[in-house]
Amino acid sequence: MKVSLFSLVAFVLLLAGSCTTKKDVGITPEPLSYSWGKGSFEWNKDTRIAFDGNEDAQQIVKTAFSETRFPVTFGAAGEGGNCIRLEVVDSISGVTSPEAYSLHVGKDGVAIKALSDAGLFYGVQSLIQLAEQGEGTVQVVDILDEPRFPYRGIMLDVSRHFRSKDFVKKQIDLLSHYKFNRLHLHLTDAAGWRIAIDKYPRLTQYAAWRKGKTWKEWSNSGANYCEETDPEAQGGYYTKDDIREMVEYARQHCITIIPEIEMPSHSDEVLAAYPELSCTHEPGKQSDFCVGNEKTFEFLEDVLTEVMELFPSEYIHIGGDEASKASWKTCPLCQKRMKEEGLKDVDELQSYLIHRIERFLNDHGRNLLGWDEILQGGLAPNATVMSWRGEQGGIDAALSGHHAIMTPGEYCYFDAYQDAPYSQPEAIGGYLPLNKVYSYNPVPDSLSTDIRKMILGVQANLWAEYIPTDEHMEYMLYPRAIALAEVAWTVPERKSWDSFRERILKIIPELKAKGYNSFDYAKEIGNRKEYDEPVKHLAVGKKVTFNIPYWPNYPANGEKTLNDGLRGGWNYNDKRWLGFADNHRMDVVIDLEKVMKIHSISAEFMQICGPYVFMPSEVIISSSVDGKEYIQLTAIHHQVQKDDSVSFKKFGWEGEADARYVRYQAMADSLYKDGIQFVDEIIVK
């Protein structure tokens, strides 16, 4: 047979899904591949859904159809087909994930094949999205789809502000529609213990309750707890029945709930209820368990035993983050433990606890998951690391043969502002707009193909210190969670911001119609205009001497930051703001290389009080022709005022001077000496 080049090209284009009447398939997250055909299928009142599976599978399939507004009638196909047929099969050519599916829409009917019940669930979600776009008319199409990652998660912090089981179930409805398969509940933290444990009733009679409706009120008024019976008590917890209900509801939506029980730190509420588990036995003074005390292990194992009875998840998250470890250094029991176990420092003492808890979980058929600090002092043999302080923890874990889940703050912390802070409810800080979430690639390029497999997936974390209501929580989640759904599901080659942007603009009104309080991305303001406007001035690229070093925790663009012509945006962590934490004080000199006439010098500072970022109380600007004798050009005093906003202020001088050297000093307010100062671009004109 003679095959012309033309017909070959046409065939390849057809296979590639390019021979379409629509621009893209319009499914979110974008599937692996698709190919349009001619004609369409009508999903109408006569359509029958045919599925033959066990009771469990029937339940999942019923749940899969539960969110659609099209007629759902189960039964055999009638005259002329008109059937949506679902089938679990042993293999599907071209895909391997157990969550894979194929979706064939023909004129007479629809066939969804999958390798598991979850695959059927996802095939149905895709079909529902197609049907919604055409009001029940679905163009003939073939879709082959599977997720990029097996772990696609969202974490909800239900400690800082308790959220009802109905709220959690409502989010499961939507998250499962966008093919998330893990819901991590941050059940315990200083602000409140949220799960009933029979053996330790004080956890829910006392540690779950506080005065102060919001985390902020509670935290500003001494962070105390109160009895459940106190008329002013605020808080709550899940009963065991609540948990069973949520776990089962999630299971029917192909979502596994992963419980997090914090240890060895973030445990102030436990240690208020059971002070004997801390090193000093003083209620309200400690966040860390005493690792030297056997009672701590008895407590943790008892709690985990009850937790494992409720949650069938492979993973139990044990926290592990941000332990101060301070009391361990002087506690006789901790010191004794270190000596007996040959532990050289408190990092190894933490690691001792993590190893021991891992053995306990493994003995019960579960695996340990923890924040990346569990690497400190040596990682437990089977542990999986959730990398939040950037990606390095995940990389280190993967390189040492451990699984990792990426959740770096820069891309995955949904408690950050999603738009210009002045247009948003108060947040903890940061700036994480939708397109930045979408741009994330959880597999670092530096990893070899083999090691890449150790990255199980990605998760967004919604910490809730500044999120007191259900509506606010949804507002912070959506639409960013949907961008993350595509990060988690879709292979990079199939991702397109332009296509996603078009889809999300249509999805948001639908979310609102369904009762979800999504941020209205159509009204996005975007980053500070200064961020996108490089500035030319006399000091760009000139040598800067730091009389006091900048803070290495926020090095931005290093020594070049203050005069690289690039100005900072809404977020002090955007690598454009340089941090100063040494007694909150800055002192730099810029060498302009020759004496010149200057008429203005200014620098900008930002303030956001939650994370302790403050304006300076005094700025001194001086100049010199020789670098020895300085003339003070101005001294500016500023009354630092605590507030709830994110603010920016320029401190500068204008006049006439001959100068080669420009010195810029900024002092901390004595009240906020522990704070941080973030500065950008010293502009000299």
- Applying CB under 6 A, the residues found at the interface with ligand ACM are 321-322, 371, 388
Q: Which residue bears the tokens 């994110």?
A: 646
388 or 489: whose CB is closer to ligand ACM? Answer: 388
Any catalytic annotation for residue 574? Answer: no
User: Contact at 8 Å (CB) between 384 and 406?
Assistant: no
Distance between CA atoms of residues 33 and 17, nearest Å = 7
CA–CA distance, 333 with 549 (Å, rounded to integer): 39
Identify which of residues 42 and 322 has a Cβ nearer to ligand ACM in the complex. 322
- The secondary element (H helix, E strand) that includes residue 36 is strand 33-42
Q: State the number of CA atoms in the 13 A half-sphere of 417 facing the CB.
A: 27
**Token digits for 234?**
């605020």
Q: Of 412 and 601, which has the nearer Cβ to ligand ACM? A: 412
Measured CA to CA, the distance from residue 387 to residue 321 in angstroms comes to: 11
Nearer to ligand ACM among residue 136 and residue 442 (C-beta): 442
Cite the DSSP H helix spans in 467-592: 470-477, 480-489, 497-513
- Judged by beta carbon, residue 321 or residue 582, the one nearer ligand ACM is 321
Query: Residue 320's closest CA among 378, 392, 234?
Result: 378
450 and 464 in contact (C-beta within 8 Å)? no
Least Å distance, CB 319 to ligand ACM, is 8
Dig out the tokens for 232 from the structure.
């002013």
**Residue, CB closest to ligand ACM:** 321
Q: How far is the CB of 324 from ligand ACM (least distance, A)?
A: 13
Choosing from 42, 67, 322, 582, the catalytic residue is: 322
CA distance 373 to 396: 11
Alpha-carbon span 541 to 212, nearest angstrom: 50
The nearer residue to ligand ACM, 15 or 326, going by C-beta atoms, is: 326
Least distance from ligand ACM to the Cβ atom of residue 243, Å = 22
- Provide the minimum distance between the beta carbon of 374 and ligand ACM in the complex, in angstroms, as a whole number: 11
CB of 215 to ligand ACM, least distance (A): 15
Q: 524 burial class (0-12, 13-18, 19+ CB within 10 angstroms)?
A: middle
Is 302 known to be catalytic?
Answer: no
Q: How far is the CB of 285 from ligand ACM (least distance, A)?
A: 21
The tokens describing 555, both together, are: 């090095």
Q: At what angle do helices 470-477 and 165-177 cross, to 10 degrees?
A: 20
155 or 679: whose CB is closer to ligand ACM?
A: 155
Q: Are 578 and 561 in contact (CB under 8 A)?
A: yes
Options 253, 266, 355, 403, the catalytic residue = 266
Nearer to ligand ACM by Cβ, of 85 and 161: the residue is 161
Q: CB-hemisphere CA count at 13 Å for 470?
A: 11
Residue owning tokens 């903890």: 428
Q: Please identify, using beta-carbon distances, which residue of 180 and 388 lies nearer to ligand ACM.
A: 388
Angle between helices 240-252 and 294-310 (to 10 degrees): 50
Q: Which residue has the tokens 């302009």?
A: 592
Q: Decide: residue 62, CB within 10 A, 0-12 exposed, 13-18 middle, 19+ buried.
A: middle
In whole angstroms, the minimum distance from the beta carbon of 371 to ligand ACM comes to 4
Residue 473 Cβ vs ligand ACM, minimum distance, rounded to whole Å: 17
Q: Is 322 a catalytic residue?
A: yes
Q: In the beta sheet, which residues pair with residue 628?
A: none
Neighbours of 624 (CB within 10 A): 19
State whether residue 236 is helix, strand or coil: coil
Q: How far is the CB of 217 from ligand ACM (least distance, A)?
A: 22
Cα angle value 18/178/505 (rounded, 5°): 70
Instruction: Please say which residue, 138 or 323, places its beta carbon nearer to ligand ACM.
Output: 323
Rg (CA), the chain: 29
Most distant CA pair in the chain: distance in Å?
Answer: 97
- Among residues 189, 268, 372, 415, the one annotated as catalytic is 189
Q: How far is the CB of 286 from ligand ACM (least distance, A)?
A: 18
Q: Count Cβ atoms below 10 Å from residue 4 Cβ, excluding itself.
A: 8
260 strand-pairing partners: 186, 317
Q: What amino acid positions are annotated as catalytic residues?
A: 189, 266, 322
